Structure 1
Amino acid sequence: MARYVLHLAFDGDPGRLAARPAHREHLRRLKDQGRLVTAGPWADDSGALHVYEVADEAELRGILREDPYTAVNGYEVVLMKQWTPIL
């Protein structure tokens, strides 16, 4: 398994806010499956940070395709990078 950090940026589009409940349910399912370590928005709601535990980048991209925010173009990926935490 590999750990990936994902930094998202939001543009304030109301379509994203309408999709937020479904997006958060999607994240809860991923957390229950052990594929999402943690996730949350920046305090100013300008974006979010997610940490995933997945087989590879292809699996992470599949997760993003299924995210309700993707359907409404609710974010921009600022950073997607494999991460090796030491602590």
Structure 2
Amino acid sequence: MRYIISRAFQDDPRLHRLRPAHRAYWRRLMHQDVLLGGGVWEDGRREVLVVKAQDRAAVHQLLGADPYTQERLALDVMVQGMDDLLGAEERAECAIPAAGGAEPAGRLSAHELRVARMMLDGLTNRQIAEHFMVSPRAVEQHITRIYRKLSISRRAQLAVALRGERLLAS
């Protein structure tokens, strides 16, 4: 099963010192096909990771071996199963209704939702393009619209945004 991990870290000088070990740990897991994707923002004080694990206990084991966790730098940790997020279409269509217009600004079209699901499944832009028999550029344009509608800027933020959470601080 795939899991989304969202974490916030203390504003601590140890973050910078431990960053190489943190990255090496997750890079090793990426090569083992455990880490499927991720990204950081707010100067490295927040991150979202997409991992493959048997269960939540295994996810917590992965987190426990991370140098940031061992140094107790995580302030807030959220672990969510991706199947929980995308189990039903109405859950995945996390619309923020807008007044008027054929398609509200926060709502993904059915096709955009299919593209978003493929992104969450770990497919590359080229693989998505091949599936729909379109150019990779067409897929990039769909992804740009998805990001704009959900007010995100990275693939790693997609699952949380579909869940209706805001990733960036106000």
Q: What TM bracket, shorter-length normalisation?
A: 0.7 to 0.9
The answer to whether the aligner puts 1:72 opposite 2:71 as a matched pair is yes
More helix by percentage: 2
Deviation, structure 1 residue 44: 4.2
| Between 41-50 and 62-71, the greater mean CA deviation after superposition | 41-50
The share of aligned pairs that are identical, in percent, is 33
Give the secondary structure class of the aligned counterpart of 1:40: strand
| Between 38-47 and 52-61, the greater mean CA deviation after superposition | 38-47
Structure 1: unaligned runs, 5 residues or longer: none
Contact 2:15–2:73 under 8 Å retained in 1: yes
Give the secondary structure class of the aligned counterpart of 2:64: helix
Taking structure 1 as the reference length, the TM-score comes to 0.87
User: How far apart, in 2, do the equivalents of 1:35 and 1:57 lie?
Assistant: 13
Deviation, structure 1 residue 43: 4.9
Deviation, structure 1 residue 15: 1.2
Taking structure 2 as the reference length, the TM-score comes to 0.47
* Equivalenced residues, count: 86
Cross-structure match for 1:81: 80
Give the secondary structure class of the aligned counterpart of 1:16: helix
Q: CA RMSD in A?
A: 1.5
Contact 1:7–1:48 under 8 Å retained in 2: yes
Deviations 1:22-75 (A, max 9, x none): 000000010011111012202543301000011111111111111011121122
Deviations 1:1-25 (A, max 9, x none): x110011102211112211100000
Cross-structure match for 2:45: 46
Contact 2:25–2:66 under 8 Å retained in 1: yes
Structure 2: unaligned runs, 5 residues or longer: 87-116, 119-170
Contact 1:5–1:82 under 8 Å retained in 2: yes
Q: How does 1:1-87 map to 2 (within 5 A)?
A: 2-84=1-83, 85=86, 86-87=117-118
User: How far apart, in 1, do the equivalents of 2:44 and 2:68 lie?
Assistant: 14
Moved over 6 A (4+): none
Contact 1:16–1:73 under 8 Å retained in 2: no
Cross-structure match for 2:132: none
Give the secondary structure class of the aligned counterpart of 1:12: coil
Q: Which has the higher contact order (CA 8 A, sep 6+)?
A: 1
More strand by percentage: 1
User: How far apart, in 2, do the equivalents of 1:12 and 1:51 lie?
Assistant: 23
